[in-house]
Amino acid sequence: MTTELIRIELTVMGDELDYLTACLATELSYGWEEEVLPDGRARCIIHAENELFAQELLAAIAARMPQVEVRRNLVPKADWVEAWKVFFTPVNCGTRFIVLAPWMEEEKAQALSQGRIPIIIEPKTAFGTGHHASTSLCLSGLSRLLDQGRVKAGQRFLDLGTGSGILGIGAAKSGLSGLALDIDMLAVENSLENRVLNGVEDKMEVRRGSLGPVGHGGDHGPVTEQFDLIFANILAEPLKALAPYIVARLKPNGIIILSGILATQAHGVAAAYTYHGLPEPQYEYDGEWSSLIIGGDQEAL
Ligand code: SAH
């Protein structure tokens, strides 16, 4: 294990920040820090463990935004963990949820007294702290579906691409039970850790794996169950490729929440699901990000 991390600073003009974060979101499976400089420019700070990964990331960013000013150096690893303590802010998602770090005891007590469900996330490299629009769109979607009675306690969920476990934990704390899958072992570990922090070990099974040709259910063989609710916050292209497998794992009248989709890609992703017989989605937008809610009992709408 290395004791140093590569710290990369990417600086752009203030109005270029949205595009830079969109680029980062397609390249990085975990978070970064953002700051606005006194001169109005904006900066994203990324920490990477692996030199090859850092080089590939910088090449991908340079190909899309050659004007980005890049600075990099090495920092002690412990500083990064400490930095999270400064940068991790509570995030309200929808009317029901608030995402907190384990050390935010006071905020947790306050949230509980206000009737919000705290989701505790130990910030590590797995994606999913609620700070990214693609995650908060899923949780606010879940919040609304619960309010509308279209998702209910006692139902079964599949959290495909669980990352930190955040979506599955939100569902488990709302009375559902289910399965969380990820192809990345580090995500599986983080999700298992967060499952314990939230006391939902008996409500959420976590495994390495996926649906369809990628992973075939991982270490445990193919997933054969059908679910009432499926979350998949991945990216547009894999979501299109996974469409037949996701649709096959959905109960009749079940609901799919898809995210990780740039607004410009939303209709293309939707087409892959309507092709497999599902109704037109409801589209939700947050800045340049979008999520799709597909299915459910259309008569009840
Ligand atoms: N669900 C979390 C994390 C989303 S990040 C949230 O909403 O914030 C996307 C996750 O999907 C990553 O952890 C990545 O490892 C995983 N992933 C990517 N492709 C996948 C696939 N084909 N099957 C399963 N997981 C996948």
Q: What is the pLDDT of residue 50?
A: 80
Spacing, Cα 301 to ligand 1 middle (Å) = 30
Measured from the CA of 214, which atom of ligand 1 is nearest?
22
Spacing, Cα 162 to ligand 1 middle (Å) = 5
Pocket test for ligand 1, best of 119, 157, 234, 258 (most atoms within 8 A of CB): 234
Spacing, Cα 163 to ligand 1 middle (Å) = 5
User: For each of the chain's 301 residues, which pLDDT tens digit applies?
Assistant: 567 888 999 999 999 998 998 888 777 766 788 888 999 999 999 888 788 888 889 999 999 999 999 999 998 877 666 776 766 788 999 999 999 999 999 999 999 999 999 999 987 766 888 888 899 999 999 999 999 999 999 999 999 999 999 999 999 999 999 999 998 888 899 999 999 999 999 999 999 999 986 555 556 778 999 999 999 999 899 999 999 999 999 999 999 999 999 999 999 999 999 999 999 999 999 988 999 999 987 655 5
Amino acid letter, residue 141: G
Q: What is the pLDDT of residue 87?
A: 67
Spacing, Cα 116 to ligand 1 middle (Å) = 26
CA–CA–CA angle 135, 137, 143 (5° rounding): 105
Spacing, Cα 181 to ligand 1 middle (Å) = 8
For residues 16-39, one letter each, b for 16 or more C-beta atoms within 10 angstroms of the residue's C-beta and e for the rest, the string is: ebeebbbbbbeebbbbbbbeeeee
Measured from the CA of 211, which atom of ligand 1 is nearest?
23
Ligand 1 pocket, residues with Cβ under 6 angstroms: 29, 126-128, 135, 138, 160-163, 166-167, 181-184, 187, 210, 214, 233-234, 238
Residue indicated by tokens 């979101």: 25
Q: What is the pLDDT of residue 214?
A: 53
CB hemisphere CA count around 225 (13 angstroms)? 15
